[in-house]
Amino acid sequence: MSSHVFGLTGGTGAGKTTVATRWRARNLPVVDADVLARDVVAPGTEGLAAIAKEFGAEVLATSGGLDRSVLARLVFGDPSARKRLEAITHPLVAITLTQNLEQLSAAGEPLVCYEEPMLVETGRCEEFRPLVVVTAPEDVQVVRAMRRDGSDEAHVWSRLHSQAPLERKLHVADHVIDNGGSLADTIDRADAILDRICRDLGIDPARYPRPPMDAA
């Protein structure tokens, strides 16, 4: 049996992690693209070695790992540098994703969520249907991202503007979760959409029981 893989996406600070955490609490496997991206450039990996070769030893921290702040300064606002970085990391992430999905399929998981912030921007929506888009007002996104990352406001706004506009995401979405309100409302919507996806695919939603909200 092959797992059916659907997508979860949204802009910076929209609340993908809140939704993904809730679904994990319901025992749905969620593969996080950001985690994969970190894994493929961990110390000792070919990804880290390739980045150091391409961008210089300055991208290496004293610990031997990747100095993400230095790398960010080198590629942010430089499309050519960003493409060179993506040429290194994207194939490695794709390989690791395939390995993860094969393991979950072999374990008999009928449904898997792939959490990826750039699914719309990279044009890969059709690979991960149905596509769930998490939204929130932009000012809320900015505050959340500043609090989460310790970034200044100008940097967060710049990141938001580098992503696809909300209208484009909504145009390709199969399901939308508005995360601009209370946590309880967001969890209710996340639960309802997961149950809907299960029913549409012929999977019993009871396979993913709803825990109390404080377990999300």
Give first-to-last CA distance, the chain, whole Å. 29
Q: pLDDT value at position 89?
A: 96
Q: pLDDT value at position 1?
A: 59
> pLDDT tens-digit profile of 26-79?
999 999 999 999 999 999 999 999 999 999 999 999 999 999 889 988 987 788
Q: pLDDT value at position 14?
A: 87
Residue 148 CB coordination number (10 Å): 12
Confidence bin at 213 (pLDDT 50/70/90): confident
Contact in structure between 213 and 187 (CB atoms under 8 Å) = yes
Contacts of 148 (CB under 8 A, 6+ apart): 13
What's the token pair of residue 159? Answer: 């990141």
Please name which of 78, 174, 184, 80 lies closest in space to residue 132, comparing C-alpha atoms: 174
Please give the residue that has the higher pLDDT: either 215 or 138.
Answer: 138
Contact in structure between 52 and 59 (CB atoms under 8 Å) = yes
Residue 183 CB coordination number (10 Å): 13
d(CA 215, CA 208): 14
